[in-house]
Each structure stands twice: as structure tokens, then as C-alpha cells.
Amino acid sequence: VHGCGGVGLSAVHTASALGGNVIAIDVVPEKLELARELGAIETVDSERVDDVPQAVKAHTEKSRGVDVSVDALGIAETVQNSINSLGKGGQHLQIGMTTSEEGGEVSVPVDTMVTDEREFYGSYGMPPNEYNDIFKMMDGGKIDPGKIVTETCALEDVPDVMDRLGEYETMGIPVCTEF
């Protein structure tokens, strides 16, 4: 999982609960520590390695790459690193949206995706017909979304929190609890 903001941490927690051996990638050590608490078996601080895909692959059997990659951030670098972390036949899930400067356009390694038969999926949220599965995981104690809530705020603080979200200065998911 590339990008350990609220969405990425949710992906770490859910994938781990489903039996995945999750590798979390971010630039903030505290976010990587929270990812470990939520089930990541390995972490990669992308500011401390020269080649993120190779660092990820080093944590896989025979360095062959991961079966599933998730980019929860959306900048060109994380899209490319996520795709390049895949092994043959791997599947990439793009959740993060690109920046306004990128305008929805980033280059991807098309030839490698074709020769390695990698698949690319996009997701813009969870369809309501799948909520029941998440609720069952919560009821069964497999996941606890409350572990990802790291901050509460009052309604008047929401604009400031939104600004910090845009600058990636929050941990987990902030929730407005005071109206």
C-alpha cells in the first residue's frame, strides 16, 4: 500500500484482516508505525531508499514482486512505484487521485504491464452494496475502524483540518464530533 493517509491505512487494515501480507510505503515514520499496528508486516520509508519498487520486492519471495499493489496517494511517483512493485500477473488498484498540476495524467510502464500481464483497476469509493461485508468484518472483530481515527475536532475546526489534509499533515482519519 503506497501512501499511509486515512485511505491507505484503511487499505492496510482491511487487506491484513483478509489475510494479506501487507507492505506499507510512506515518507512519515509515524504513519508507517501506525500501519504496522494495523497489520502491515513490513514497511518501507520511501525517503530512505533509492529504488522503492526494489525495496518492496526485497520483501517478497525470491524478490518477484507483489501480487496486489494499491496507490492511495495518487502522485505520479507513487502510481509508478506501485505498478513497478508488482510481479508477473499482478493487479494494481488506483485509489488516489492525481494532483491539479498533473490533471489526471501520469505516465505508466505500458510495455511492462503488457509483457508481465499486469492489471490496472481504479476505484472511487466503496459501493453501498458491499457495506455489509465491512460490517460483518467489524462485527467479527477482524477490523476496527476506530483505530484509524486519530483526531477529533469541532465543526468550526473543519476548515483548518481540511487544509492540513491537503498538505498531508494529518495522521489517520480526523472526525468531526462536535457540532
pLDDT in tens, 95-141: 999 999 999 999 999 999 999 999 999 999 888 999 999 999 999 99
Share of the chain above pLDDT 90, in %: 91
How much is the pTM? 0.92
How high does pLDDT run on average in the chain?
95
Cell 502491515 locates to 40
- Enumerate residues 6+ apart whose C-beta is below 8 A from 6: 148, 170, 172, 173
Q: Which amino acid is at 4?
A: C
Per the listing, cell 512505484 goes with: 81
d(CA 78, CA 25): 9
Per-residue pLDDT of 29-68, as tens digits, reads 999 999 999 999 999 999 999 999 999 999 999 999 999 9
**What residues contact residue 18 under an 8 Å CB cut-off, 6+ apart?**
none
Range 154-158 contact pairs with CB under 8 angstroms and sequence separation of 24 or more: 154/178, 154/179, 155/179
Instruction: Give the other-Cβ count within 10 Å of 40's Cβ.
Output: 25
Q: Which residue has the higher pLDDT, 119 or 171?
A: 119
Confidence at 78, pLDDT banded by 50, 70, 90: very high
Residues whose CB is less than 8 angstroms from the CB of residue 98 and which lie 6 or more positions away in sequence, other chains included: 74, 75, 76, 79, 104, 105, 106
Please give the pLDDT value at position 178.
82
- Are the C-beta atoms of 51 and 26 separated by less than 8 Å? no
